[in-house]
Structure 1
Amino acid sequence: MVAVFALGANSLLVGAGGGYKKPVTAVIENLKKDGLSVEGAFANIKQITIQAAEGKMAVIVGDEAFLNKSGLEIKGYERLGKGTLALVTPKGKTINDIKDIVKFERIAMPDAKKAIYGIRTTGFLKNSNLEKDVGSKMLAVAGVPQVVAYVLNNEVDAGFINSTEAEARKSEFGSIIYVDESLYSPVYISAAKLKACENNAACDKFIKELGNERSKAIFSKFGLK
């Protein structure tokens, strides 16, 4: 399901992969305080691109590599930073080496076809030669928020998420291990400007906001390099 606020007739609609809900929402809230009418839609990136194809969405925040293949008419990018794949465990369960996942019985990951970090998890497992040992133990769910829910409810031994969620909720996990970035393709997170952004003063203001210091501080706080 796409989580989307009620959209007013003159509101700017910004979409983002579910793993980036917290920082994008923080940027949106700053702009609302400044008087801009802007709302957000959040789900796995595949669902967001499907909604964007309807033409009402002005901006999508997500993985550049995925968006380049989405078929959407993208007018340009504002790069926000580089994301990182992380492994988290429930409270009371800690590990120091990611190879210890071979001892686990159930490991959650985002959908490998529809979610940014599901694609990266698959790449990591293949490149690290762990796929043969843990492939049958992987539980694919919709996206990062669902992985987090499984981990926090202690329904899995561990879960692969993004650094943004790992940083935002680090006190709720037993351990966090950041995956070697050489073992999966880079995750460049950008704001893609769509057709609805053209000649749109509100969209121009949103894009400009992403480049200012208060927004950079938000994305840095949530783990984007």
Structure 2
Amino acid sequence: MTRNFVAWNQAAFDVLGGGVARAPAGDELAALERWVGGGLPGAVREWFLLGGDRLLASVSSNLVTGVQDLAGRFLEHGFLLLETDSQACCRWVVPVSAAYDDPPVYLIDPDDDACATRSRYAGCFSDYTFTAAWDATLWKAEVSADFDHPLPPDALDGLRRRLTVLPTTHGWAMNQSCDAVHRFGGPARVAVAVAGGTALWSAVAAASPGVRDAFAALIGAGSGG
């Protein structure tokens, strides 16, 4: 497989090393689609065909569902289980209907096999794969982190002016509920999990300590409240 075959999830594959997994999962995917009775959404099919699940599982602390385990009870309700939180606090699911090439991803309660509790986590599947990969690799860099600190009113606007805005997700912030997780890239990689006017946690990754300190100060990290 070459990079030219990646239509939807290239950003995620770039974060995960710029390639795709060896031994594409064509046989497993064909069996799943026979079980489903039709094709999967394009972005979902591409991710599993090219081994995105295996690449993500190699860096994530969560339990990432492999293509060989997708057939199961969630499919009876029209969803695929993508991932389970490392402490089993929530799960991520995506609809199997091929009506959308790049469907949204939802959070559900951990014991909700029918997916009745779902709330939107990411606006599209490719945003989910990118943010899952980006979040997992963020904490492996040189990171300045802070927790439960006030977020200055202009902090997010300041980040938007200085950095590249990346996809935002909603409802879950690595280890707790949240309103949203905002992400930014560029000279620094910055993530801020927000609930109201509070940063539940913030992380700034950059090779330079000075750059880390500057962006941490911008978002009120280390201010002591």
Which of the five TM-score ranges fits, normalised by the shorter chain? under 0.3
Question: What TM-score do the two structures reach when normalised by structure 1?
Answer: 0.25
> Relative contact order (C-alpha < 8 Å, sep 6+): which is higher?
1
Compare the two structures and name the one with the higher helix fraction.
1
